[in-house]
A and B are shown apart, each in its own frame.
Chain A
């Protein structure tokens, strides 16, 4: 038996292939859109995984440090280290900053870390970890910095000694890691003019500048310029303890808010990127509908283009099911080509996106199913037309 669909495709294979590729590019856009969403979720997951923490201890009543601001005293970490089940605890600070690179700027999240403790990057792609306690930085490759570059943050220059990959904030901004003490200073340090003005303001305040108490003004000024705040304490739980079991006493007796991994994911994925995710989801839905409509129109016009041939087939006694299966096979073939081209295109152009685009194999399989389903559904319209064709048209008009 000869394949009607095959013969027909062979008859106009260029048109068929080009249509398939065009459809594929459309499907590629849809895949990329799904990839953008997956990338956003993965950015949030990467932020949590890379911190290497089991628990996040933040200011009471806040959902910090990523979704809200949280401020803790940096000596709280010692109390937390002494709580049962805590293996390691480390202070960490986060702040977003426009970092100058040459003539341009990159948006980066500056993270203050204690090297070797939770919060510091687990693996590098070049260079070495921080070995000095000041003025060294690890930068993500996405920032564009190279080893040996100098980053200026506030008033200090930091030398890039190591590079990381996929170290991003929940918003997808690449991270720059600097030692905690420098970060505390950089986060709260005012510019020089502000400091000078603040000193003048204190000096003008009679409460601080009393004639009979020399040294009081100096003490007040010194207390204004030091900072011992951090944003969160990251905790690694000792083996054999459940995170919830360790979190409870910290919450109860230290009067701090504690989140475990699931709680943090809930905040990041369900709250922080919820609106963006819905936005992309909406777009994805519209794109799917448009793709389905275009597939339907393409198959419809393809069928309409050979209405005379179908009439001839009917005239020579071809059964309706044969004609229907021909159209269905063509539609599925188109869908398959579209899928392969789309997945290929999405994979090839994904790295060019400024933010991370993650194409999951599972999504691709779902996509394949959806594409084939849409093609099958779209072909029903054409099949109905083909079945209704009057064999007389083959000889008429």
Chain B
């Protein structure tokens, strides 16, 4: 049986128009605003996980010194340079003593003079002593003579007076000798003081250290307290880490940590929280903790940026969910739960979050519940959805991550 040509043509025309309309409807319902929202779904599972805190910081020296004069002056010599290792007690730099040496010489002369004065006083004392003894002997003899009435009472009184004078002269000579000794002591003490000042002009290493900065050159003038040299103890390097206050709960000293230095971004350095500071930065809203390095790798530099991941104690079995599934609806945090192909918003109570995006669910869900993780568009309770495995193709295998 053959179909007539006009009939065939009619079939063709009607067929193509119907095809066009069907294609149109298909495209209309698959793309654009009428299409179902593609979502991916995950199951709430129970497991254990280790939450972590994250912060950034800089490498600092726990023990560091600023060496400088205690009074203004001019730098005379600087004997070490940046990078030099120095021993405790080593002379590192010297301030210009100006007139200190001359004043020391003057004091030396004063001490010598004081010694001479002391000797003179001793001699004088001996002389007066001799005279007093002579006067005493004379008085004794004259008293005997006066008892036998060989001399007058007046002559005896003259001898007594001689003795009293000699005694007074002796007191005076003793006092002079004492004064000379004190003079000598004073000169000695002044010299010792000047010696101290002179020593103070020498900048001595307080401990074994490394010179980290040389801030003044010989000839330059510095004020009191200004550093000429800066020293650090290379064995005391630690990390000063700043953590967002909002994500610092559980931070205590003793926690283990991993540091990633900017110069070695792929070699984690084990560390430990050594101190958590009481004062937190109210401007940047960060807490500050010091992390000591278990073993410092070579080639560190003070001031280097680093990232720190601090491990908190492991959380025992609890409900876990990808953090991407959390949504906020009308002031409540919750998830879109799948119930028989329909969506329902389930408010949840959230606990700790791990750095790899797992979140602990404290209440609101049960193990085995299916919730929406990723969605192409914001969802609402009456959204039509289509569950797919993934919304974005993973990066090609050719891509090589660093």
Contact = CB atoms under 8 A, between A and B. Distances in A.
- Most chain B beta-carbon contacts within 10 A, residue among A9, A126, A147: A126
A146 B394 contact: yes
A13 B12 contact: yes
A64 to B, nearest CB: 23
Interface stretch (A159-167, A268-276, A311-319, A372-380): A159-167
B223 to A, nearest CB: 6
Contacts of A123: 324, 327, 374-375, 377-379
A162 to B, nearest CB: 7
Interface in B191-232: 221, 223, 225-227
A238 interface: yes
Nearest to A141: B392
A239 B332 CA distance: 11
Contact of A129 (B9, B13, B323): B323
Nearest to A78: B285
B392 A239 contact: no
- Most chain A beta-carbon contacts within 10 A, residue among B28, B284, B379, B392: B392
A5 interface: no
Contacts of B297: none
B353 interface: yes
A228 interface: yes
B307 A134 contact: yes
A162 B324 CA distance: 9
A221 to B, nearest CB: 14
Given A131-B357, A134-B307, A161-B357, A17 B225 contact: no
B328 A52 contact: yes
Contact of B394 (A52, A147, A343): A147
Contact of A127 (B284, B324, B377): B324
A352 interface: no
Given A129-B323, A238-B331, A150 B402 contact: yes
B20 A131 contact: no
A146 B395 contact: yes
B328 A134 contact: no
A214 B149 CA distance: 93
Given A122-B327, A133-B55, A361-B33, A17 B16 contact: yes
Interface residues of A, number: 54
B33 A147 contact: no
B322 interface: yes
A132 B391 contact: no
A10 B327 CA distance: 58
A148 B225 contact: no
A127 B24 CA distance: 35
B378 A131 contact: no
Given A123-B379, A133-B55, A134-B56, A128 B323 contact: yes
Contact of B23 (A122, A129, A344): A344
Given A10-B10, A236-B331, A341-B20, A126 B27 contact: no
A126 B40 CA distance: 9
Nearest to A88: B331
B249 interface: no
B392 A122 contact: no
B161 interface: no
A135 B355 contact: no
A211 B401 CA distance: 51
B298 interface: no
B266 interface: no
B384 to A, nearest CB: 15
A75 interface: yes
Interface residues of B, number: 58
B54 A132 contact: yes
B136 to A, nearest CB: 71
A87 interface: yes
B54 A125 contact: no
Given A10-B13, A344-B27, A134 B54 contact: yes
A27 B323 CA distance: 45
A240 to B, nearest CB: 10
B20 A337 contact: yes
A347 interface: yes
Contacts of A122: 327-328, 378
Interface in B25-62: 27-28, 31-34, 54-56
Contacts of B395: 146-149
A6 B392 CA distance: 48
Nearest to A344: B24
B27 A348 contact: yes
A337 B20 CA distance: 8
15 contacts: A13-B13, A52-B328, A122-B378, A123-B375, A125-B374, A126-B374, A127-B357, A128-B324, A129-B326, A131-B355, A146-B395, A212-B223, A236-B331, A337-B20, A361-B33
Interface of A: 6, 9-10, 13, 17, 49, 52, 75, 87, 122-129, 131-135, 141, 146-150, 161-163, 165-166, 181, 211-212, 214, 228, 236, 238-239, 337, 340-341, 343-344, 347-348, 350-351, 358-361
Closest 5 CB pairs of A and B: A128-B357, A146-B395, A125-B391, A133-B244, A132-B54
Given A123-B378, A124-B324, 18 more contacts: A123-B375, A124-B374, A126-B392, A127-B324, A131-B323, A133-B54, A133-B247, A134-B307, A147-B394, A148-B399, A149-B399, A150-B401, A181-B284, A212-B223, A238-B331, A337-B17, A340-B24, A361-B33
